[in-house]
Structure 1
Amino acid sequence: MTCKMPIIITGGAQRLGLACAKKLRAEGHDVVVTYRHTKASIEVLEGLGVSCVRADFSSQQGVDLFIAQIKQDYSGLRGIIHNASEWEAEADCPKASQLMEKMWQVHVFAPYRMNIAFEALLYAGFECLGKADIIHMTDYSAEKGSDKHIAYASSKAGLANLTYSFAKRFAPKVNVNSIAPSLLMFRPEDDADYREKALNKSLLHQEPGEQEGVLAVQYALTNRYMTGRTLSLDGGRHLV
């Protein structure tokens, strides 16, 4: 029996999501990525056989439209990687309540709705393929908080907590885990002073690159005896 049951990667058109999509497709997985803004990477992914779906998770309507499309197109799922993310500081947003609402909508409400809506599809993936997973991409700040990114950190903590609840709900058929990076890759706009300070926050003083995140995703997708856990990619930052 042939099962076309993809791995969904939200926010899969750039940075870590893009690297994961390329790697998983190269390994033979069917992959669906979501993107909000058109990028050159979309054409590249489509050329590799990745299905690219425009979706905006900043509104409930956007989440509902995406859920409806996936239910229409697929009878099961191998997994969901909740990677879509917003990054904004309180200093850059004049209305704190709007910032908090936006962060929780993208990082908590959207994954929550999708996990529940796709429950039957994930079970079908397990029955057909013998393995189904949910991976929440959280953040180091979920554990420590952040004085400059309060709404962001709190919403990532909310996403981390969803890992525990959904691991209980979906066991033993679906494994639910988190990956919590600190620094993996700098952004082009990050200046030299910021880069030096960021590197000094961890014991290993590295910009490890997207590959470390990809390896963590691969581990979570292949491990059969881990659920409700968080893989921390922080270079020993918790010990500094």
Structure 2
Amino acid sequence: MPSLKGKRVLVVAGSRGLGAEIVKQAAERGATVAINYAASKERAEELCKSLPGSGHVLVQGDAFTREGCESIVSAATNGLGGLDAVVSNQGYTKFASWTDLKSVSDEEWLKILNANIMSHLWVIQAAEEQLRANKGSFLISASVAGLYTNGSSMAYSVSKAGLIHLSKGLAKSLAPDIRVNAIAPGLMLTEWAAGFSEAQVKLSTDAALLKKVSDVPDVAAAYMMLMENGSITGEVLEISAGLGH
């Protein structure tokens, strides 16, 4: 079984929320981490300073453009001296009514599809050479919204469903050199969840078998397991406190 000790890990959108917890747990396991951030420089710097070990780097860049993804991967590769794993954690949504088909404009639909599908494709296209050479791991942040018809908006749910299918396609296309897996968390109480009302949070909690939201450290731990397990690819791991059952 692979170990993260001494491995070089890029976490796209890694300065806050789930991304920051993934960064912390990877560093605690002995990995050297490249932390990508878009605008939160101070937060990224504070996170980097708090990490155990040395050699961690910050990588500023916009993961929602092809050029940005290429720049992020290039800077991380140069900063770490190579890549053994990439966590593609970026995403975007608009909170909107499911019952109003015009609640999300065409422009917003395309923005969501670009952020939640195309950006992940651009990241792996940029990182493919490094990950193939190092028999590495590519992890995608999906969502239970891609498995069931729920979430912040129909556009978001559809985009995450497409992302899940992309992850399965990539696993097939990149085998046997690169392991590709997706993680589908339920509702997590990060800054992202600020768009949900208290009633919506309660509805999600009540619907889960464990009667709770998905704890961020628990979700991040799944990324560690998938990076360290050399026998899993093409899977979608739901971590939702039983929300989908």
**Structure 1 residue 109 and structure 2 residue 115: aligned?**
no
TM-score, with structure 2 as normaliser:
0.84
Q: CA deviation at 1:111?
A: 1.2
Is the deviation greater in 138-147 or in 188-197?
188-197
Post-superposition offset of 1:125: 2.0
The ranges of structure 1 where at least 4 consecutive aligned residues each deviate by more than 6 angstroms after the TM superposition are none
Deviation digits for residues 192-223 of structure 1, max 9, x if unmatched? 43332221121111134211112211111111
1:16 matched residue in structure 2: 18
Deviates more, 1:51-60 or 1:161-170: 51-60
Q: For 1:237, what is the secondary structure of its paired residue?
A: coil
Give 1:54's aligned amino acid: Q
The TM-score, its normalising length taken from structure 1, stands at: 0.86
Q: Distance in 2 between matches of 1:65 and 1:219?
A: 28
**Following superposition of structure 1 onto structure 2, how do residues 1-240 of structure 1 map, counting pairs within 5 Å?**
6-38=8-40, 40-47=42-49, 48=51, 49=54, 50-70=56-76, 72-73=78-79, 76-90=82-96, 96-126=105-135, 132-146=136-150, 149-185=153-189, 187=191, 189=194, 190-239=196-245
Separation in 2, partners of 1:19, 1:159: 22
| Residues 59 and 75 in structure 2, CA contact (< 8 A), matched pair in contact too | no
Instruction: Give the gaps of 5 or more residues in structure 2.
Output: none
C-alpha change, 1:110 and 1:148, in structure 2 (3 Å) is closer
Identity of aligned residues (%): 21
| Aligned mates of 2:133, 2:152 — CA distance in 1 | 42
SS in 2 for 1:33: strand
Question: 1:129 maps to which residue?
Answer: none
* Distance in 2 (alpha carbons) for counterparts of 1:120 and 1:168: 16
1:5–1:125: 8 Å Cα contact kept in structure 2? no
8 A contact 1:76–1:123 mirrored in 2: no
Residues 147, 172 of structure 1: alpha-carbon distance in 2 compared, 3 angstrom cutoff: closer
Q: Deviations over 1:127-176 (max 9, x none)?
A: xxxxx111111000111123851111111111111111111122112111
Q: Is the 8 A contact 2:36 2:58 kept in 1?
A: yes
The DSSP-based 3-state class of the residue aligned with 2:213 is: coil
Deviation at residue 23 of structure 1 after TM alignment:
1.2
Relative distance call for 1:125 and 1:5 in structure 2 (3 A) is farther
> Which moved further from structure 2: 32-41 or 80-89?
32-41
Count of residue correspondences: 232
The letter of the residue matching 2:25 is K
The aligned amino acid for 1:23 is Q
Following superposition, the deviation at residue 27 of structure 1 comes to 1.4
